[in-house]
Amino acid sequence: MNVEGEILIELYRSQGRVEKVAIRSSRPLQLTAVFEGKSVNELLRVVPMLYSVCATAQACAAAQACRQAMALNGDIRVEFAEKMLVDVETAREHLWRLLIDWSNYAEEPVDRPLVSSLSTLLPAAKSACFGEGGLFTLEPALSLDGERFESVIERLSKAAAEAVFSMPPAEWYAIDTAEMFDRWLDQTSTAPAKLLRRIRDRQTGRLADAGANPLPSIDPLALCRRLGDEDAEQFVATPDWMGARLETTSLTRMVSHPLLQNLSEHYGFGLMTRLTARLLELAAIPGRLSDQLEGLRGDRIDTGSSGSKTGVGEGLSEVEAARGRLIHRAVVEQGKIAKYQILAPTEWNFHPRGMVAKGLLSLPAVETSQLKAYADLFINTVDPCVGYRLEVV
Amino acid sequence: MCLAIPAKVVAIDEQGENATVVLGEVKKEVSLALVEDVSVDDFVLIHVGYALNKVSEEEAEKTLQLFAQAGITP
């Protein structure tokens, strides 16, 4: 009954090392074909239902691609607020995985009431931005309640401080040397700190070093052309750019932070650096949201690089979702979807010869259960919600 | 691009932590850690062992129809 598909990962050992990694995907990427012929409004209704794991990012990408395809250049503050909601979703996703998965890895109890309470964050943020009106529709109206949004940011900060950092997230974000980081590890009793301390003390922080080869900003026109090619289906399933197999994760978004640069001197881009990147991203979000809220209130917003034009009737959106960059392309003819494509971060990261394969290939060929444990932690570090099956041959 | 699949809740354990859901003819255990106020007979979207959120029966049916159109069936 595995309708959602999965990624099968096989590790082959030989002569004391992992000799080969095979990655095959049965994820149903063809599902987007069912959107063809449907109205744009119908598409916008069903996308968050189908792709409900990161539903806000998916809905945001769909709405922004369709608006662009239909040349609907409405209130730029709407798209700005939509991306703020994606940030709230990213923070909630990170917190959920830290609270559940990292607690399990650290053999600490899961704080279920806190996990459960996070489920109300996004509805509150959405309501604070758009009231009870339509959200991620073609022409939504912003109805900002700044105080309510502030309270969402406060709840987020409090949860992150309590469960992860033992200090305000902005203060943790200022940690920029390996020595300060080590002191934090030694003085903090949260489950994430315990997990990282264990990794440091067991000297496993360098494991699964796949380097850092970030997916760069790509010219939208070039990307549209690639997605319009005859072999686009193959590209969506196993993407590369100019032959390069690239990564899009929290690590690639945070790689320029001084702490990661310093940790990479000790750990390369292995487990420790990757796990820390997730914490840095979580620590950055509340402060960024506060700045963005101020911008939105004062009509001083930076919409980034959006505004690049694609072909007539064609829209391309790029959204930085919890697991990496999510790209939607829509071709709209007379209000109906003529072509729809989704290029998800999972396909970049789990490319058969991509970053995950490289990281797994670097693991030591220890006994099976230990090898599986290392591989599982590494995969979780890259994408904690991907469905996969791991076999050691 | 992770999909979540609608399934009907047929049982919940005593602690309220896990549920048994039915999808097609298959039963499966899922965690209720990420959702609140789930009861037997509710429909939930499930993904990799977790119930993500509640949906109406109508939404569940429409979602399954879309999967069927794409040739994806439980």
Quote the CA–CA distance of A210 and A361 in Å, as a whole number. Answer: 9
CA distances A102 to A92, A107, A154, A274, A377, Å, are 14, 8, 23, 13, 9
Whether residue B69 and residue A29 make contact (CB cut-off 8 A), yes or no, is no
DSSP 8-state assignment for residue A75: -
Quote the CA–CA distance of B38 and A187 in Å, as a whole number. Answer: 39
Q: What is the ipTM of this complex?
A: 0.86
Instruction: Please state which CATH number belongs to domain A7-392.
Output: 1.10.645.10
**What pLDDT, on a 0 to 100 scale, did the predictor assign at position A2?**
67
Q: Model confidence over A8-60: pLDDT tens digits? A: 999 999 888 899 999 999 888 888 999 999 999 999 998 988 888 899 999 99
A100 CB near a chain B CB, below 8 Å? yes
Q: How far is A90 from chain B (nearest CA, A)?
A: 14
DSSP 8-state assignment for residue A102: I
User: Does A231 have pLDDT greater than 70?
Assistant: yes
A46 CB near a chain B CB, below 8 Å? yes
Whether residue A46 and residue B23 make contact (CB cut-off 8 A), yes or no, is no
Report the residue of chain A nearest B65, measured CA to CA: A34
Whether residue B3 and residue A344 make contact (CB cut-off 8 A), yes or no, is no
DSSP letters for A151-199: HHHHHHHHHHIIIIISS-HHHHHT--SHHHHHHHHHH--SHHHHHHHHH
pTM above 0.90, yes or no: yes
Q: How far is A254 from chain B (nearest CA, A)?
A: 22
User: Does B6 have pLDDT greater than 80?
Assistant: yes
* Gyration radius from chain A CA atoms: 21
Report the residue of chain B nearest A100, measured CA to CA: B33
More confident residue, A17 or A324: A324
DSSP letters for A42-58: HHHHHHHHHT-TTHHHH
Instruction: Please state which CATH number belongs to domain B5-69.
Output: 2.30.30.140
Q: Model confidence over A120-152: pLDDT tens digits? A: 999 999 999 999 888 999 999 999 999 999 999
Confidence band of A303 (pLDDT split at 50, 70, 90): low
CA A281 to the chain's CA centroid: 10
CB pairs A-B closer than 8 Å? 96
Q: Model confidence over B15-48: pLDDT tens digits? A: 889 999 998 788 999 999 888 889 999 999 998 8
Q: How far is A222 from chain B (nearest CA, A)?
A: 22
Whether residue A119 and residue B36 make contact (CB cut-off 8 A), yes or no, is yes
Kindly tell me the sign of the dihedral angle through the C-alpha atoms of A295, A298, A300, A301. Answer: positive
Confidence band of A64 (pLDDT split at 50, 70, 90): very high
Per CB-CB distance under 8 Å, the chain B contacts of A46 are 62-63, 66
Quote the CA–CA distance of A25 and A45 in Å, as a whole number. Answer: 27
Whether residue B55 and residue A49 make contact (CB cut-off 8 A), yes or no, is yes
Q: Model confidence over A114-123: pLDDT tens digits? A: 999 999 999 9
Confidence band of B70 (pLDDT split at 50, 70, 90): confident
